Amino acid sequence: MEIWINPACSKCASALSLLDEAGATYTVRRYLEEPPTSAELGAVLERLGLEPWDVARLGEEVAGELGLASWERTAGTRGRWIDALVAHPILIQRPIITADDGTAVVGRSAEAVRSVLP
């Protein structure tokens, strides 16, 4: 499994602790330093069953600068959203955990993190 984290994020630290307590094997990806490509983000969104606007952090300063909150949320604008998240990875909700069985979660709660454990 892989977990996308921001080391400064308390939710990420909590998720890592839960994975460690469970003895899970995982790879850490510091997605701010190693942003996903458009294809990677698209694949993760598909696994999550979410759209890019569902994982966008609209409270970030850059979201305000881009006017992200006012962007249309349609199939036709999906690519624009993905491009913005890839260009500004701070906008991606965290932590995101992709499990080896093909499932994925945004691990902001203990329950979500536990849901991907074997």
38-83 tens-digit pLDDT: 999 999 999 999 999 999 999 999 999 999 999 999 999 999 999 9
9 is catalytic: yes
Within 13 Å, how many C-alpha atoms sit on residue 105's CB side? Answer: 16
What predicted TM-score, i.e. pTM, was given to this entire model? 0.93
Phi and psi for 94 in degrees, rounded to 5? -145, 160
Mean pLDDT for 103-112 is 95
Exactly one of 1, 2, 9, 103 is catalytic; name it.
Answer: 9
Phi and psi for 48 in degrees, rounded to 5? -75, -25
Within 13 Å, how many C-alpha atoms sit on residue 57's CB side? Answer: 16
